[in-house]
Amino acid sequence: MRAMVMTAIGGTEVLEAAELPVPVRAGAEVLVRVHATSVNPIDVKTRAGRGAAGAIRQYPAVLGYDIAGTVVESAYQSHALAPGREVYGMTIVPRLDGGNAEYAAVPELFLTPKPTTLSMTEAAAVPLAALTAWGMVVDVARAHEGQRMLIHAGAGGVGHFVVQLAAYFGASVTATCSTANVSFVRELGAARVVDYTTTRFEHEVHDHDVVIDLIGNVHDDTGTRSLAALRPGGLLVNAPTGSWPGMLDDAAAAGVRATDYKVSPNGATLAVITRMIEAGDLRVHVDRVLPLDELAEAHRLVESGRTRGKIAIEVSRP
């Protein structure tokens, strides 16, 4: 099968085309013909030696957490995900090879039927980002009517799902983004949008119940500054791996709570997200679709931090 592999830790030059054996399905796995994937910040960090790089046992490695495609082999004959069924989901890289290849063997619990309203490339842009957003907003922050929530990077891959989910469950959303994305984030459901290029959010936002931090302290001490936006005892939820090593101590000193968040594949939750998508209550924004052989360019775009929504990759035609 055709694949784009990571040959070592480094820049985008370590992403190379390769021919690999089709993976062998085992146990309760499903063999999927991958039609599309997407690039997430964790892919970029892993390639550069952060993220999940420490768990890579050998090279070449196949990245790509998101998968949308067609079932080739089911776990057993009467399985609901039968051959020919269009599915989507995410997998655990680097424990398993990811979606940057024409086939992937994926545990059945990581997958669910693809939304009928989405193309393969649109569907591939959903799983990791939407599951991360769901976990932060619903499972950890427990979004509800009357809650005040500040969301950083509201136009990004995870952020544009966070804004929609928080608003859907009744929270009053304040989101930060650049000037070019103000209208976009408002359309997602934010009651208030702060343009970080012209306004210091901590001067305008106070006494919020929750901060969803998708930046940390990797840029302009965004995480530390967010503590001033919380009410006493408020909660900060941080997602980017390694973005704020001193978070717990800083939060305790400020009299607020904090936790990081790590997403895991969950086909059951993704099925709920599917119903929201098909009902028109949740939408995915794909900034650009690139072919698999332009994976390096996709990494560069995500690394720039200036994409709106997601960058999808077309792996093979349905």
Average pLDDT value for the chain? 97
Residue 133 has pLDDT above 90, yes or no: yes
For 256-293, the pLDDT digits (tens) are 999 999 999 999 999 999 999 999 999 999 999 999 99
pLDDT at residue 135, rounded to an integer: 98
Same domain assignment for residues 122 and 133:
no
For 74-111, the pLDDT digits (tens) are 999 999 999 999 999 999 999 999 999 999 999 999 99
For 62-81, the pLDDT digits (tens) are 999 999 999 999 999 999 99
Instruction: Please give the tally of structural domains in the chain.
Output: 2
Same domain assignment for residues 147 and 213:
yes
Same domain assignment for residues 138 and 253:
yes
Average pLDDT over residues 40-46: 97
User: Is the residue at 279 inside a domain?
Assistant: no
123 pLDDT band (50/70/90 cuts)? very high
Residue 219 has pLDDT above 90, yes or no: no
Supply the pTM of this predicted model: 0.97
User: Is the residue at 271 inside a domain?
Assistant: no
Q: 3-state SS string over the chain? A: CEEEEECCCCCHHHEEEEECCCCCCCCCEEEEEEEEEEECHHHHHHHCCCCCHHHCCCCCECCCCEEEEEEEECCCCCCCCCCCCEEEEECCCCCCCCCCECEEEEEHHHEEECCCCCCHHHHHCCHHHHHHHHHHHHHHCCCCCCCEEEECCCCCCCHHHHHHHHHHCCCEEEEEECHHHHHHHHHHCCCEEEECCCCCHHHHCCCEEEEEECCCCCCCCHHHHHHHHEEEEEEEEECCCCCCCCHHHHHHHHCCEEEECCCCCCHHHHHHHHHHHHCCCCCCCEEEEEEHHHHHHHHHHHHHCCCCCEEEEECCCC
For 156-185, the pLDDT digits (tens) are 999 999 999 999 999 999 999 999 999 999
- The CATH code of the domain that includes 142 is 3.40.50.720
Residue 25 has pLDDT above 90, yes or no: yes
Average pLDDT over residues 32-44: 97
pLDDT at residue 241, rounded to an integer: 85
Same domain assignment for residues 136 and 58:
no
Same domain assignment for residues 68 and 174:
no
> Which domain, by its residues, includes 183?
129-260
Same domain assignment for residues 54 and 108:
yes
